[in-house]
Amino acid sequence: MGALSNPQLEYRCGKLFCENVSLEVLAERFATPLYVYSRGTIVENFSAFHRHLEGILSLVCYSVKANSSLGILSLLRRQGAGFDIVSGGELARVLKAGANPGRIVYSGVGKTREEIYAGLEAGILMFNVESAGEMDVVASCARALGRRAPIAFRINPDVEAETHPYISTGQTIHKFGVPKREAFSLYHQAAESQDLQVVGIACHIGSQILDTSPFLAAFDEIKELADKLRADGVDIGILDLGGGYGIQYADETPLDVGNLAKEISARLAGSPYRLALEPGRSIVGNAGLLLTRVLYVKRNSIKNFIVVDSGMNDLVRPALYGSFHEIVPVSGPPSRCELHADIVGPICETGDFLAQNREMPEVAPGDLLAVLTAGAYGYVLASNYNTRPRPAEVLVEGNEANLLRRRETVEELMRGETI
């Protein structure tokens, strides 16, 4: 079993604690399944970005899609975060959490007119435009409102990043961004438009990337283009490198953000650019866990199954990407792993597992397990499949645990339906 990925988790007298709060107590108080986040870890992760970027003119735009709970957005806003959003819904969330619109970047391949209007009305920092068609729509929306829309183009730098194919985004085979060649003429068109204000260049090459070299390759691509455009009089001010900074789930070494920042700051020395980053997972991933209770232990002639009260509707990453999440007992630490088992949920699908072929300590019905590193792309991807209400979410701060979101009810799931 690897080290606990969240420095705020530890066993004290045989019980797992998040900061100074016992997970057993949280399960009693809020029931399971339950998402639990450590405030200290989120703040530390965010501050680390700032520390690494000291000396670089920069803006850290937390990528809201990783975890969009209002309490977490508001916490990050108070730490000085800007936000990377991808929908009108996320815009509404960050505004509700008190975001400064001048620190919001809006990414995504399929923005609607309504969403663009909402972004313009809010006065966001920039739209990261992903196609010529979108540029025209943004310009026409701006014209209708009598404003100039601040834009960057998201460049598809055609660099390969080693990660799961579903979350790799920076190659020509992917739907994202515009090719560099096309971008050059688009920038010139945009610079001549009365309705658009060119402010930056953006890219995002994928997620859970552990190696710095693809980021540097992408950065070099966008900086080279920015330099060329500036030489032509197009006023690029912001270089947005996107997100994707990989974290530790099992025994991988997380991306060295400090080293990446050092390389980038060397490249930025003496240049006029402000760096924007859009980290999501690396801010909230290791800060969160999913607390679940064992319902049954089933054994057949070849396999053992630990059936728990949360499933793919609560945390879909293992089913969707085959992702690994460390699972540890709340009463522990485990001395011996004696049970070779799949940890599965109650949903009627074979893909409904949280882990497969895992070495676990003997567990019994009623025991609590913590599914670690579930703070990013956990709750946000939860669904109501099998009419299962989504879990509650709790933020732990020192000795206290505050409910960020109460558990859904079945009544709420049926609201809006007709018979």
Residues paired with residue 394 on neighbouring β-strands, in sequence order? 36, 403
| Distance in Å, CB of 277 to ligand LLP, minimum | 9
**Burial (CB count <10 Å: 0-12, 13-18, 19+), residue 381:** middle
Residue 66 within binding range of ligand LLP, rule CB under 6 A: yes
Residue 260 within binding range of ligand LLP, rule CB under 6 A: no
Residue 65 C-beta-side C-alpha neighbours within 13 Å: 15
- Report phi then psi at 362, rounded to 5: -60, 130
Distance CA 416, CA 308 (A): 30
Structure tokens at 225: 């283009």
Residue 167 within binding range of ligand LLP, rule CB under 6 A: yes
Strand pairing category for 149-156 and 196-202: parallel
Contacts of 40 (CB under 8 A, 6+ apart): 8, 19, 397, 398
The secondary structure of 30-80, three-state, reads HCCCEEEEEHHHHHHHHHHHHHHCCCCCEEEEEEHHHCCCHHHHHHHHHCC
CB atoms within 10 A of CB 331: 17
| Distance in Å, CB of 66 to ligand LLP, minimum | 5
Stretch that binds ligand LLP, among 46-54, 223-231, 242-250, 262-270 (CB under 6 A): 242-250
Between residues 30 and 83, which has the closer beta carbon with respect to ligand LLP? 83
Q: Compose the 187-206 pattern: x for residues touching ligand LLP by CB under 6 A, - for all others.
A: -----------------x--
Residues touching ligand LLP: how many (CB under 6 A)?
Answer: 22
Distance CA 67, CA 279 (A): 11
* Residue of 19, 134, 221, 278 that binds ligand LLP (CB under 6 A): 278
Between residues 17 and 127, which has the closer beta carbon with respect to ligand LLP? 127
| Distance in Å, CB of 107 to ligand LLP, minimum | 4
| Distance in Å, CB of 416 to ligand LLP, minimum | 27
| Range 374-403, binding ligand LLP (CB under 6 A) | 376-377
Is 348 annotated in the active site?
A: yes
Stretch that binds ligand LLP, among 7-15, 58-66, 183-191, 257-265 (CB under 6 A): 58-66
Residue 127 C-beta-side C-alpha neighbours within 13 Å: 34
Structure tokens at 93: 């969330």
Residue 82 within binding range of ligand LLP, rule CB under 6 A: no
Residue 87 within binding range of ligand LLP, rule CB under 6 A: no
* Residue of 32, 45, 69, 107 that binds ligand LLP (CB under 6 A): 107
Q: Which residues participate in catalysis according to the annotation? A: 348
Contact positions toward ligand LLP, by CB under 6 A? 63, 65-66, 84, 107, 167, 204, 207-208, 242-245, 278-282, 317, 321, 376-377
